[in-house]
Amino acid sequence: MKKLYFTRHGQTVWNVENKICGTTDIELTELGRRQAMELGNKIKERGLQIDKILCSPLIRARETAQHIADATGIPLEIEPRLTEQNFGKYEGTARNGTEFLQSKSHFADSYEGGESMLRLAQRIYNLLDELKADNKVYLLVAHNGIARIITSYFKDMTNEEYAKFGIGNCEILKFDL
């Protein structure tokens, strides 16, 4: 069975400060760069058979993907659909803010200038449908919000499970396509 791998970018300053990054282009910290290099080495050591890395164009994901590509020799391509969700007025605010957490459970909410979960799901589901039809094994390098959508593509989740879902920086997920 064909596999799909996903990882979240390395640590950013806003991750440390518990702020919502969204489409704000935040760079990796030194720890984030080390996490990315370690993940690249781990993928190489495990001998994961990956044909191509697709990554978000945001710098935190691009830099993470580049470190992985450098360590493994896997070709890298920017995939704009992997850009994190635009959280509108909430970008730069606390991830655990009461108003944001409530708004996050409303899937049609576009956060006053952002992107709704429904629109995000459409663009990611369309990408996954395309990848499913391809014979290649991909590593997607993107963001926590994208991890949530991808997981919901493969697994039924309640609204509460979906809203609470998250993965750590440079954690890797594996899915059967």
- Region 128-134: mean pLDDT is 95
- Region 111-138: mean pLDDT is 96
Q: How far apart are CA 17 and CA 94, in angstroms?
A: 8
Is 106 annotated as catalytic?
A: no
pLDDT at 106: 85
Q: Indicate the pLDDT class of residue 160, thresholds 50, 70 and 90.
A: confident
Q: Indicate the pLDDT class of residue 40, thresholds 50, 70 and 90.
A: very high
pLDDT of 164 higher than 90: no
Cα 174 to the chain's mean position, in Å?
A: 13
Q: How far apart are CA 35 and CA 41, in angstroms?
A: 10
The model's pTM? 0.96
Is 84 annotated as catalytic?
A: yes
Please identify which of the residues 84, 91, 115, 143 carries the catalytic annotation.
Answer: 84
Task: Express as a percent the part of the chain with pLDDT over 90.
Answer: 89
Pull the structure tokens for residue 126: 């369309």
Pull the structure tokens for residue 93: 């605010």
